[in-house]
Amino acid sequence: MHCALRCGAKTRLGHPCKSPAIHGKERCRMHGGKSTGRPSTPSSIFRKGYLIERREWRKQLKDMKTMLLELNKIQLKRN
């Protein structure tokens, strides 16, 4: 472990990180050597599509509410 390559990322103080780099990488686990993000599984892809669809529905509902409020204002002005 003490012979392993060091991370080399700069700390908040400006000094190089002293943690060992992950095997085959240049950075330690704290500075991005271990993972690049969540893997895309069928369930996560479905969930993402569902969330996008739900967001679109909410936007349409909001637009409809504003249209109804505007129509109500117009009707009140006529009466």
Pairwise CA distance, residues 53 & 59, whole Å: 10
Pairwise CA distance, residues 28 & 17, whole Å: 8
How much is the pTM? 0.44
Pairwise CA distance, residues 5 & 36, whole Å: 20
Counts of helices then strands in the chain (DSSP H, E):
1, 0
Q: What pLDDT digit, counting tens, does each position of 1-18 carry?
A: 677 788 888 888 888 888
H-only helix segments in 1-79? 42-78
Structure tokens at 7: 């991370």
pLDDT: is 44 or 71 the higher one? 71
Q: What pLDDT digit, counting tens, does each position of 6-60 carry?
A: 888 888 888 888 888 888 888 888 887 666 666 777 777 788 888 889 999 999 9
